[in-house]
Structure 1
Amino acid sequence: MMRSAAINRRSFVKAAGLGFLATLTPRSLMALEQTDAVYASGIRAADGSFAIATVTERGEIVDQMTLPARAHGMAFSASTGKTVAFARRPGTFAMIFDPRNKGEPVAISSPEGRHFYGHGAFSPDGRLLYASENDFDGNRGMIGLYDATDRFTRIGEFETYGIGPHDMTVSEDGRLLIVANGGIETHPDFGRTKLNLGEMQPSLALIDAATGALVEKHVLPAEWAELSTRHVDLDGEGRIWFACQYEGHRKDLPPLVGHFAKGENLSFIELPEETTRRLANYVGAIAVNRSEGLVGITSPKGGASVTIDARTGKVLAEATIPDAAGIAPAKSGFAVSSYDGDFLSTRSDVAWDQHIVRI
């Protein structure tokens, strides 16, 4: 069984220490004391500014850190407590901080000719940060390598063996980098415009974390060439779950979720037709609750969240959540946020961004 990458509230408070707790308001202290889990997510405040919020599983904001622009995905190291917020494509900044104390955050920028795709992951020991990036003039997906022991100095890069890499993760033993190559060409000169929708090349790649060599590449079937592979997570058995966004005709009913493991072919989950329609051909985030054997997905376009049994692939629950955004494992099921400011049962005067990370 794979270990959880998250820590509970008691561990968070112990690691934070008295210095951090002394900076919190009485209301934040009470919220932190009563929660089981702590999360982080990007937000847009009511005044239009952007920040990272530390939040309880009931949606009570504990603390905030200002960002220069909108963030997208997050990465957390259980080994070091460091958390990273990556800029939304085609942004070029990433902000690294320790949410348990008030130390100065570290800001890094992608090198010239690159931009971030909004996602990344730490090595299991926390010594390396991997970031999905775009070599936009070369039209190549890349993984940037950053030394977390030296203020996140960039020390190299690997190819992703595809274009448009989005989300990525690292195997439990740290040997494999797992990348969802969305297959969509973009260039910052054209903003967020998708330049090759008629010739997409979506794939999922396994890459040797030590050498950057390609271990396996799974190209989607020709009939689903317009199905962009976007987000990934690992279950308790080491299987890789992936979620997709469809760029084809809106009336089509493509498979949106699947899984595979090293040495196995891709296997799509057969969601009920009504569920696929409800998701509006778009999964914005995926998360695995390893302790309960559940997979959760959200769709901001469909305004829905869906819970799947990781063992059988059967849909266990569906919920209507307008502008559903991030999803992350909770003590029971999942914590889900929305662009409208909802985080489970709590509404805040902020817009939660697309992803949540449990810290």
Structure 2
Amino acid sequence: MTQSAITLRPVLVDRRAFLSMAGAAWAVSLSPAAAAVLSRTDAVFASAFRAGDGAYGIATVSEEGEVIDRHVLPDRAHGLAHSAVSGHTVAFARRPGTFAMVLDTAGRDEPVVITASEGRHFFGHGCFSADGRLLYATENDFAGNRGMIGFYDGTDGYRRMGEFPTYGIGPHDMTLSPDGRLLVVANGGIETHPDFGRTKLNLDHMEPSLVLIDTATGRLVERHVMPPHLRQLSTRHVDIDAGGRIWFACQYEGPRNARPPVAGAFAPGEDMKFLDLPEEAAAALANYVGAIAVHRAEGLVGLASPKGGAVVTVDARTGTFVKLEKLADAAGIAPAKRPGFAVSSYDGRFAERTSPIAWDQHIIRTRPT
């Protein structure tokens, strides 16, 4: 299934009806077959998906690619966040969506639906605080054309507590530093407004950046901007390796015949350094990295490109190229329990199995974490 095909037929559901359906679905325990899958797998992942009838949802899936359970969503989701402390998994609406759904993977709590504040919409990503008590979400103040981080109280029904700026425009992915003191945010630099759908409004004067923000105060700690010749290199996704280095992945909005670097890394206090990939690997990524994942235990970084139909692996310690794998419609990527990465695709592939659903852009590992 192509990327364009997955965007068809969004299912709009009345919020009250949606909450009723979600609660009923959650109240049903796992089927014996699903429980058996759960008992024999070493790792569990979660991803948003689109079913064959056009309905959207979030599913858990085993490392072997077997779907364990599914839950309905009112529209298409994008990225996810998981807290090992609370057991909560959150699916964020795809830009310019205004909902996020919280599921308790331990089955203790009913789903919670978060609605974006007036004048805000979600950018499809977020993360939890180290203690699991706060949820952070990248948001758009579209009237002010500025990126924001909304933060929500996970101990009080995910009540919105406040917000602080991302010190850029078009924030997308973000992650938390290992000590919990910093948020690492990829400001894509692209201006959008819900009145214009997903149209990119400033490709001729983009402002991509990577920023470090103090979680306690919202203060800007560091800001890294792209050099002038790479201003159309939109910073999109981030992850952190075992040594504390920040890895970033980009999507290029410039000329098709250009071949800019699309990923790199830096440590706090240092300048960005871009990956120097072999020509074949760089071409295979097609100027578009849709997802990045660090396998901290193995010291690897994985880059997935749905446009190029490829997955590139590099050594996190040296930045050297490890291997190139071809996978049509490669979508989400996450560290596997077994060696290497788990990778999903838009046409329903996960590990060695193909399911009758289209996996969305991202996957996360929820067990073990």
**Interval of TM-score (by shorter of Structure 1 and Structure 2):** over 0.9
Distance 1:174 1:25 in 2: 37
Distance 1:26 1:317 in 2: 39
Q: Which moved more, 1:289-298 or 1:101-110?
A: 101-110
What's 2:111 paired with?
A: 105
Question: Alignment partner of 1:103: what SS?
Answer: coil
Q: Given residue 316 of structure 1, which amino acid in structure 2 is its aligned partner?
A: V
Q: CA deviation at 1:103?
A: 3.2
Query: Is the contact made by 1:54 and 1:99 (CA closer than 8 Å) also made in structure 2?
Result: no
Q: Given residue 144 of structure 1, which amino acid in structure 2 is its aligned partner?
A: G
Query: Is the contact made by 1:21 and 1:29 (CA closer than 8 Å) also made in structure 2?
Result: no
Q: Given residue 298 of structure 1, which amino acid in structure 2 is its aligned partner?
A: A
What's 1:61 paired with?
A: 67
Q: Given residue 164 of structure 1, which amino acid in structure 2 is its aligned partner?
A: G
Q: CA deviation at 1:355?
A: 0.4
Q: Which moved more, 1:24-33 or 1:84-93?
A: 24-33
Q: CA deviation at 1:319?
A: 1.1
Q: Given residue 336 of structure 1, which amino acid in structure 2 is its aligned partner?
A: V
- Among 177, 180, 183, the alignment partner of 2:183 is 177
- 1:316-338 residue CA offsets vs partner (Å, 9 max, x unmatched): 12111110000000021100000
Unpaired stretches in structure 1, ≥5 consecutive residues = 1-19
Distance 1:234 1:291 in 2: 12
Q: Given residue 336 of structure 2, which amino acid in structure 1 is its aligned partner?
A: A
Distance 1:297 1:106 in 2: 32
Distance 1:131 1:35 in 2: 31
- 1:229-281 residue CA offsets vs partner (Å, 9 max, x unmatched): 00000100111100000000111110111011110000111011211111110
**TM-score, structure 1 length as denominator?**
0.93
Q: CA deviation at 1:32?
A: 1.3
- 1:41-73 residue CA offsets vs partner (Å, 9 max, x unmatched): 001011110111011011100011100000000
- Among 358, 361, 366, the alignment partner of 1:351 is 358
What's 1:216 paired with?
A: 222
Q: Given residue 355 of structure 1, which amino acid in structure 2 is its aligned partner?
A: H
- Among 299, 308, 311, the alignment partner of 2:305 is 299
Distance 1:273 1:226 in 2: 21
Q: Given residue 339 of structure 1, which amino acid in structure 2 is its aligned partner?
A: Y
Q: Given residue 23 of structure 1, which amino acid in structure 2 is its aligned partner?
A: S
Q: CA deviation at 1:315?
A: 1.6
RMSD: 1.2
2:174 corresponds to 1:168: yes
Q: CA deviation at 1:123?
A: 0.3
Q: CA deviation at 1:24?
A: 2.0
What's 2:341 paired with?
A: 334
Distance 1:55 1:306 in 2: 23
What's 2:20 paired with?
A: none
Question: Alignment partner of 2:121: what SS?
Answer: strand
Distance 1:31 1:267 in 2: 42
- 1:200-227 residue CA offsets vs partner (Å, 9 max, x unmatched): 0000000111111110100010010000
2:69 corresponds to 1:28: no
Q: CA deviation at 1:21?
A: 12
Q: CA deviation at 1:30?
A: 2.2
Q: Given residue 47 of structure 2, which amino acid in structure 1 is its aligned partner?
A: S
What's 1:186 paired with?
A: 192
Q: CA deviation at 1:22?
A: 8.3
Matching of residues 91-240 of structure 1 within 5 Å? 91-101=97-107, 103-240=109-246
What's 2:6 paired with?
A: none
Aligned positions, number: 340
2:321 corresponds to 1:281: no
Distance 1:320 1:340 in 2: 14
Distance 2:318 2:64 in 1: 29
Query: Is the contact made by 1:85 and 1:96 (CA closer than 8 Å) also made in structure 2?
Result: yes
Query: Is the contact made by 1:253 and 1:273 (CA closer than 8 Å) also made in structure 2?
Result: no
Question: Alignment partner of 1:75: what SS?
Answer: strand
Distance 2:27 2:124 in 1: 30
What's 1:51 paired with?
A: 57
Distance 1:176 1:22 in 2: 38
- Among 246, 250, 256, the alignment partner of 1:244 is 250
Distance 1:316 1:350 in 2: 31
Query: Is the contact made by 1:226 and 1:247 (CA closer than 8 Å) also made in structure 2?
Result: yes
- 1:168-208 residue CA offsets vs partner (Å, 9 max, x unmatched): 01111111111000000000000000000000000000011
Q: CA deviation at 1:102?
A: 6.1
What's 1:256 paired with?
A: 262
Distance 1:254 1:137 in 2: 32
Q: Given residue 335 of structure 1, which amino acid in structure 2 is its aligned partner?
A: A
